Amino acid sequence: MNKKTDVRSLHALRSVGPATIEDLRLLGVADISDMAGRDPQALYDELCRIKGQKIDICCLDVFNCAVAQAKNPELPADQRNWFWWSRQRKAATSPRIADKASA
């Protein structure tokens, strides 16, 4: 049985614009099928390495958003926005008030 190929273009992904598509091409991502199997953190780290500098961390949020959409075409609308992923990242890394009180 053949695996169904996702024929959507990278341009179809919300929060993915021309600059991000150019970066994805640098990373060897040609289409949504390529995107679905990638690790967003690895993509971000490799882009930083290729460009020789630390890239804005919001680029990681865009990669998280793009990979999630590539894996799930029915992703909820709010999760198709890169800034939803920014909030998730910030919530995961921010110290809790209770943690500060116990220090």
Q: Is the pLDDT of residue 95 over 90?
A: no
Higher per-residue confidence, 102 vs 96: 96
Q: Is residue 21 part of a domain?
A: yes
Q: Is residue 103 part of a domain?
A: no
* Number of domain units in the chain: 1
Q: Is residue 3 part of a domain?
A: no
Q: Is residue 75 part of a domain?
A: yes
Mean pLDDT score, 8-32: 93
pLDDT tens digits for range 34-81: 999 999 999 999 999 999 999 999 999 999 999 999 999 999 999 999
Q: Is residue 5 part of a domain?
A: no
Q: Is residue 43 part of a domain?
A: yes
Q: Is residue 65 part of a domain?
A: yes
* Stated pTM of the model: 0.83
What's the token pair of residue 26? 């640098």
- Residue 77 domain boundaries: 10-93
Higher per-residue confidence, 61 vs 101: 61
Q: Is residue 89 part of a domain?
A: yes
- Express as a percent the part of the chain with pLDDT over 70: 83
